[in-house]
Structure 1
Amino acid sequence: MTKKTSIGNYLFTRLQEMGIGHIFGVPGDFTLQMLDQIDEVDGLNFVGNCNELNSAYAADGYARLNRISAMITTYGVGDLSALCGVAGACAENVPMVFISGAPPLYAMEGRLRIHHSLAEGNFDNVMNSVREFTVAQTRLTPANAAFEIDRILKICWIERQPVFIQIPSNISHLLIDAPQGPLDLSIPQSDSESLESALALVLKHLQLAERPAVLIDMDVDRTGYTDALVRLVEKYKIPYASFRSGKAILSEASPLFAGIYNGAASEPQVREIIEQSDCLFVTAPSFVEASTLQFIDQMPAETVVSIRGHSSTIGGEVFEGVMAGELISRLADSIEERPEPSVAVQDQTVQPVGVEASRSLTQSRFWPIMGNFFEEGDVILAENGTSNIALTGVKLPEGVSYLSQMVWGAIGYTLPALLGTIMARPERRQILFIGDGSFQLTAQELSTILREGLKPIIFLINNRGYTIERYIQGMKATYNDVANWDYTALMKVFAPEMEAFTASVKTEGELASVLEQCVKQDCASFIEVHLDPFDAPEPLKIFGPKTAELDYGSRRGPRK
C-alpha cells in the first residue's frame, strides 16, 4: 500500500520514526523549503547552529546518546564545512544522516554555472568528497525518492555509519507514492549454522579457561549489545577492562571492573588480567595506537575471541555472518552462573582528596577533586588533551555516559557535541571539560546552548594554550600559546538576557565553594579553572614524548 506525500515530508517522517527529535544545521537558500517542512512533522524540530562544523559535532553528540542523528546543510560551502565533523563520525562509527540541500535538479542536469559551486557545471565533486566519509550516498529525484530514502536510512541504522542524501531544492515539495508502513529497522539475523558453530566453540574455550577476561571498545555501545555483555560478565563473573575509547560503556563501579587498558602504560593489575588471560574476549577493538595492538599479536590465537558487529574470530577461526549481539546474548543464556570470579580484581576505590583551601590548583589534585563531584547518571564530555587524558584514570560512578573523540581527535569537538547530548537527554546532568585552546575553535556554539535554555556545567581549563602539544614539542614555543579571553564574560555576551552562574577559580578552596554553589543553580554554569601552562597529568607527561617519537622518529630534531 502506498500514499501520496511530499518528498520532504516522507524523509522527515522517517527520521522521526527512527527516534530523531532534533535536526541540526545552518539554513541556506537551497534548504529553506525543506526547513519549512520540518514543522509539518510532530516531534521533530530544527536546531540552528553557528556553523556547519558545529552542526556535525552536535549531531555526533546527539547520536551517541540517541543511537542516530540528522543534520542539514546547503550545497558546497555548507557540505564541505561540515565534512570534518562527518569524518569524525565515520572514524568512530556514529550513525548520522547528512542531508544536503542541493541546487535545483534542472540546474544540475543542465550543468548550469551556479553559486556555491565551482561554476563549471560539475555537481559530482561535492558528492565525491563526501563519499570518502560516508557508507552510502544518494541524489534524490521524484522517481527514486521513496526507495532511496528507505535504502539509505536502513544502511545508516545497520552499519552505524554516516550516510549522505542530496535533495535538489526544487523537488522537496513534490508528491510521490510512498509506502504506508513504518521503516523496517530490524537487524539482520546471524547465519544459523555459523552462529551455532561459533557458540559451541566459544563455550568450549570459556569452560576450559581459568582466567577469562573481557576487553571493551566503543563498538559495544555503537552496535547495541551492551546489555547482553553485562549479562555475560555478571553471570560468569568475568573481569573486564576497557580501552580509553571504550571508557564507562560497562560500569566502572562494578567489582569486576579492572581498569583502563592502554598497553604498556596500563596499571599492573590491568595488564595482568588482560595479557595473562587464557580466554580473552576483545569486543570490536579500534586499536587507536599500535602499542595496544602488540600484545594481541603476541597472544596464542586460540586464547582470543574477537567479536565485531557482523563477524567473530574464535581461536583463529573466522565466523562470518555472526551478529555480535546475538552471539553474546546466546552465550549469556548458555553458561551456568558462577559464584565468584576466577581472578580477583583489587578494590580500586580512591580515597577522597582533602581540600586545602589556600593551595593553588594543580593537575594532580584537580581531577581527583572533580571525581568526587560526579554522580550516578551524569553525562561527562572530555575534550582531547589534558581533560580526556586525566579523566581516563578517574573511576566514574554507576550509569555515567562518557564522551570523547579518541580516534578522530578533533579539538573543539566537545562543546557543540554537548549541545547534541543535552538535546538527546535533557533529563540528565551534563558536564563538560574543555581546554581554552579547544574552546576557541567552536566557542560560538555556547550561544546556541544558552539560546535553547539548556543548563550544562562547563569547566573551562585555562592553561594558556595547548599543554598537550607542549609535551610533544615546543614547551615554551609561541605556537602553543592562545589569546587569554575573558571567558566568563562570554555568557553575557552570547545571552545578555539569560541567567547564568559563572566563576573563576585558582585555589582548591575557591573550587570547593564554587562546586557547592553550582549544584544549587537552575541555570547554565560556566567555571573557569586556572592551571599552570606547564603543569600536566602524569599520563600526559608519558604520552607527549611517545607521541613525539611516533610523529618525528627517534632521530627527530631538537625539542624546545
Structure 2
Amino acid sequence: MTTRKSVGTYLLERLMKLGVRRIYGVPGDYNLEFLELIERTEGIAFIGNCNELNAAYAADGDARLSGISAVLTTYGVGDLSALSAVAGSYAEGVAVIMISGVPPQHAITQRALLHHTLADGNYENIMACYAQFTVAQARLLPQDAAGEIDRVLGAAWREKRPVYLQLPSDTCCVSVQVPVEQDVPAPCGSDPIQLQAAVANIMERLAKATQPVFLLDALVRRFDLRERVGELSRLLDIPFATLATGKGALCETSPNYLGIYGGKASAPELYERVRTADCIIGLGVRFVDATSGYFSYAFDPDAFINIQAFDTRCGMDTFLGVVVADLLDAIIATIKDRRDVHPSSVADAASGQVPVPAPLPVGQDVTPWGQPAFWARIQAFLRQGDVVLADNGTSLVALTHMRLPAECHFISQPVWAAIGYTLPALLGSLNASPDRRHLLFIGDGSFQMTAQELSSVLRAGHKPVIFLLNNRGYTIERMILGETAAYNDIANWDYAGLPGVMAQQDAALCLRVNSMPELEDALKQAQDPQRLVFIELGFGPMDGPVGISNFGGAVRHYDYGAFDGG
C-alpha cells in the first residue's frame, strides 16, 4: 500500500520513526523550505547553532545518549564546515544523519555556476568528499526519493555510523509515492549455521578457560549491549576491563571491573592479567595508538575472541554474518541451558582484580593546589547518573582512569581527538537527557575552538557545570614538545566573564578558582546547579594530572623517534 507525500515530509517522518527529535544546523538559502517544513511539523525541532562544525558536534553528543541525531546544512560551504565533525562520528561509531540543502535540481542539471560552489559546474565533488566519511549517500530525486531515504537511513541505523543526504531545494515539496507502513529498519539477521558454529567455538573455549577476561570497547554502548554483556559477565563471574574508547561501557562500581586497559599504559596488575589470560573476549575492540599504550598490548592471539558488530573471529577461525546481539543472546541461552559450564569453573577469574587507587587527600591545609589535587577532589564530586564530558587534553587523561559512579555516561572523542568537540557536544547531550546533571571538563585551548556554542547552551536555559582548566596554552603539546615555545601559547581570555557577554548577567554563576579552599566553595555551589555554573580553574602551563608527562614522552617517542627537541 502506498500514498503520496512530499519528499521533505517523508524524510521527517522517517527520521522521527528512528527516534530523531532534534535537527541541529545553520539556515542557508538552499535549506529554507525544508526548515519551514520542520517549523510546521510536531515532534521534531530545529536547533540553531553558531556554525556547522558545532552543529555536527552537537548532533554527535545528542546521538551518544539518544542513539541517533541529525544535522542540516546548506550546500558546499556548510557541508565542508561540518565534514570534520562527521568524520569524527564515523571514527567513533555514532549515528548522525547529515542532510544538505543543495541547489535546485534544474541548476545541477544545467551545471549552473552558483554561489557556495567552486563555480565550475561540478556538483559531484561534495558528494565525493562525504562518500569517504559516511556509510551511505544519496541525492533525493522524485523518481526514487522514498527508496533512497529508507536505504540511507537504514544504513545509519544498522551500522551506527553517519550517512549523507542531499535535498535539492526544488524537491522538498514535490509529492511522491511512499509506503503507508513505516517501520523501523529491521536488523540484519545472523546466518544460523555461522552463528551456531561461533557459539560452539566460544563455549568450548570458555569451558577450558581458567583465567578469562572481557575487553570492552565503544561497540557495547553504541549497539545497546550493556545488559547482555553485564549478564554474561555475571553468569560466568568473568571480570572485565574497558579500553579508553569504551569507558563506561559497563558499571564501573561492579566488583568485576578491572579498570582501563591500554597496553603498558595500564596499571601493571591489569597489564599482566590480560597478558596471561587464556581466554580474552573482546567486544568491538580496536587498538588505536593513544588507547593502547602506543600498541604495547600483549596477549596470546590464539586466546582472543574478537567479536565485532557483524562477524566474530576466534583465534584463526572467522565466522561471517554473525550479528553481535544474536551471538550474545545465544551464548547466554546456552549457558543457562547447559550445566557443564558452571560459574564455579571460572570462579577464581576475578581474583586478580586491580584495586582502584584511593583518592588523594583533599584537606585544605595540607594539599597543594594543582591538577593532581583537583582531580582527586573531582572523584568525590562525581555522583550516580552524571553525564561526564572530557575534552581531549589533560581532562581526558585524568578522567579516563577515574572510576565513575553507577549509571554515569562518559562522552569523549579519543580516536578522532578533535579538541573543542565537547562544548558543542554538551549542547546535544543536554537536549537528549535534560534531567541529568552534566559536567564538562575542558581546557582553555579546546574551549577557544568552539567557544561560541556556550551561547547556545545559555540560550536554551540549560544548567550544566563547566570546568574550564586554564593552563594558558596547549599543555598536552608542551608535554610532547615545545614546553616554552610560543606556538603552544594562546590568548588568555577572561573566561569566567564570557557567560555574562553571551547572555544576561544572572544567567550563569561564574567562579574563579586558584586554591583548594576556593575549589571547595565552588563545588558546594555547583552541587545542585540552579543555573549554568562556569568555574575557571587557574593552573600553571605544565601543571597536569598524574601520568601526563609519561604520556607526552610516549607520544614524542612514537612520532619523532629519538628526536630530543634539539
TM-score normalised by the chain length of structure 2: 0.96
How far has the Cα of 1:457 moved from its partner?
Answer: 0.6
User: CA 1:435–1:304 in structure 2 vs 1: closer, same or farther (change >3 Å)?
Assistant: same
User: What is aligned with 2:339?
Assistant: none
Contact 2:279–2:303 at 8 Å: present in 1 too? yes
Contact 2:97–2:156 at 8 Å: present in 1 too? yes
**Paired residue total:** 557
Write out aligned runs for 1:485-504 (5 A): 485-496=493-504, 499-504=507-512
Q: For residues 295-321 of structure 1, what are the alpha-carbon distances to aligned partners after superposition, in whole Å with 9 as ceiling and x for unaligned? A: 66x644431111000000113200001
How far has the Cα of 1:520 moved from its partner?
Answer: 3.7
Equivalent pairs: percent with the same residue? Answer: 43
Q: Secondary structure of the equivalent of 2:161? A: coil
Structure 1 CA distance for aligned equivalents of residues 355 and 378 of structure 2: 20
User: What is aligned with 2:152?
Assistant: 152
Contact 1:273–1:343 at 8 Å: present in 2 too? no
Q: Secondary structure of the equivalent of 1:372? A: helix
Contact 2:458–2:507 at 8 Å: present in 1 too? no
How far has the Cα of 1:223 moved from its partner?
Answer: 2.2
Structure 2 CA distance for aligned equivalents of residues 84 and 351 of structure 1: 37
Structure 2 CA distance for aligned equivalents of residues 406 and 452 of structure 1: 28
Q: For residues 219-265 of structure 1, what are the alpha-carbon distances to aligned partners after superposition, in whole Å with 9 as ceiling and x for unaligned? A: 12112222211110011110111111111111111110011111112
| Structure 2 residue 447 is the aligned partner of structure 1 residue 442 | no
What letter matches 1:17 in structure 2? K
Structure 1 CA distance for aligned equivalents of residues 50 and 214 of structure 2: 42
What letter matches 1:214 in structure 2? F
Structure 2 CA distance for aligned equivalents of residues 323 and 346 of structure 1: 32
User: What is aligned with 2:484?
Assistant: 476
User: What is aligned with 1:462?
Assistant: 470
1:379 to 387, 397, 402: 387
User: What is aligned with 1:525?
Assistant: 533
Write out aligned runs for 1:78-227 (5 A): 78-227=78-227
How far has the Cα of 1:499 moved from its partner?
Answer: 2.2
Contact 1:24–1:71 at 8 Å: present in 2 too? yes
Contact 1:57–1:413 at 8 Å: present in 2 too? yes
Contact 2:465–2:529 at 8 Å: present in 1 too? no
User: What is aligned with 2:543?
Assistant: 535
Contact 1:358–1:507 at 8 Å: present in 2 too? no
Question: Which moves more between the two structures, 81-90 or 514-523?
Answer: 514-523
Contact 2:264–2:296 at 8 Å: present in 1 too? no
Contact 1:220–1:283 at 8 Å: present in 2 too? yes
User: What is aligned with 1:509?
Assistant: 517
Write out aligned runs for 1:34-433 (5 A): 34-289=34-289, 291=292, 299-335=299-335, 338=343, 340-344=347-351, 345-348=353-356, 350-351=358-359, 353-356=361-364, 360-433=368-441
How far has the Cα of 1:341 moved from its partner?
Answer: 4.2
User: CA 1:341–1:429 in structure 2 vs 1: closer, same or farther (change >3 Å)?
Assistant: farther
Q: Secondary structure of the equivalent of 2:419? A: coil
How far has the Cα of 1:60 moved from its partner?
Answer: 0.7
User: CA 1:307–1:123 in structure 2 vs 1: closer, same or farther (change >3 Å)?
Assistant: same
How far has the Cα of 1:43 moved from its partner?
Answer: 1.4
What letter matches 2:158 in structure 1? I
1:552 to 541, 546, 560: 560
Contact 2:214–2:239 at 8 Å: present in 1 too? yes
Contact 2:362–2:373 at 8 Å: present in 1 too? no
Structure 2 CA distance for aligned equivalents of residues 382 and 462 of structure 1: 15
Structure 2 CA distance for aligned equivalents of residues 311 and 496 of structure 1: 53
Structure 1 CA distance for aligned equivalents of residues 495 and 536 of structure 2: 7
Q: Secondary structure of the equivalent of 1:525? A: strand
Q: For residues 463-506 of structure 1, what are the alpha-carbon distances to aligned partners after superposition, in whole Å with 9 as ceiling and x for unaligned? A: 11110000100001111111111111111110126521110001
Contact 2:277–2:299 at 8 Å: present in 1 too? no
Q: Secondary structure of the equivalent of 1:39? A: helix
What letter matches 2:501 in structure 1? V
Structure 2 CA distance for aligned equivalents of residues 417 and 41 of structure 1: 25
Q: Secondary structure of the equivalent of 1:50? A: coil
Question: Which moves more between the two structures, 112-121 or 346-355?
Answer: 346-355
Structure 2 CA distance for aligned equivalents of residues 65 and 119 of structure 1: 40
Write out aligned runs for 1:12-51 (5 A): 12-51=12-51
Structure 2 CA distance for aligned equivalents of residues 89 and 383 of structure 1: 15
How far has the Cα of 1:82 moved from its partner?
Answer: 0.4
Structure 2 CA distance for aligned equivalents of residues 551 and 189 of structure 1: 43
Superposed CA RMSD: 1.6
What letter matches 1:343 in structure 2? A
How far has the Cα of 1:6 moved from its partner?
Answer: 1.0
How far has the Cα of 1:332 moved from its partner?
Answer: 1.9
What letter matches 2:143 in structure 1? A
User: CA 1:410–1:299 in structure 2 vs 1: closer, same or farther (change >3 Å)?
Assistant: same
Structure 1 CA distance for aligned equivalents of residues 199 and 302 of structure 2: 15
Contact 1:355–1:509 at 8 Å: present in 2 too? no
Contact 1:467–1:536 at 8 Å: present in 2 too? yes
Structure 2 residues without counterparts, runs of 5 or longer? 337-341
Q: Secondary structure of the equivalent of 1:84? A: helix
Q: Secondary structure of the equivalent of 1:16? A: helix
Structure 2 CA distance for aligned equivalents of residues 36 and 498 of structure 1: 33
How far has the Cα of 1:187 moved from its partner?
Answer: 1.1
How far has the Cα of 1:271 moved from its partner?
Answer: 1.1
Q: Secondary structure of the equivalent of 2:271? A: helix
How far has the Cα of 1:273 moved from its partner?
Answer: 1.9
Contact 2:395–2:441 at 8 Å: present in 1 too? yes
User: CA 1:303–1:292 in structure 2 vs 1: closer, same or farther (change >3 Å)?
Assistant: farther
Structure 2 CA distance for aligned equivalents of residues 55 and 245 of structure 1: 23
Structure 1 CA distance for aligned equivalents of residues 294 and 224 of structure 2: 24
Structure 1 CA distance for aligned equivalents of residues 406 and 529 of structure 2: 23
TM-score normalised by the chain length of structure 1: 0.97
Question: Which moves more between the two structures, 213-222 or 342-351?
Answer: 342-351
User: CA 1:548–1:27 in structure 2 vs 1: closer, same or farther (change >3 Å)?
Assistant: same
Structure 2 CA distance for aligned equivalents of residues 346 and 49 of structure 1: 44
Q: Secondary structure of the equivalent of 1:343? A: helix
What letter matches 2:11 in structure 1? L
Q: Secondary structure of the equivalent of 2:381? A: coil
How far has the Cα of 1:521 moved from its partner?
Answer: 3.1
Q: Secondary structure of the equivalent of 2:5? A: strand
Contact 1:360–1:506 at 8 Å: present in 2 too? no
User: CA 1:121–1:351 in structure 2 vs 1: closer, same or farther (change >3 Å)?
Assistant: closer
How far has the Cα of 1:351 moved from its partner?
Answer: 4.6
User: CA 1:12–1:497 in structure 2 vs 1: closer, same or farther (change >3 Å)?
Assistant: farther
Q: For residues 527-559 of structure 1, what are the alpha-carbon distances to aligned partners after superposition, in whole Å with 9 as ceiling and x for unaligned? A: 0011111112232111111111211222x2525
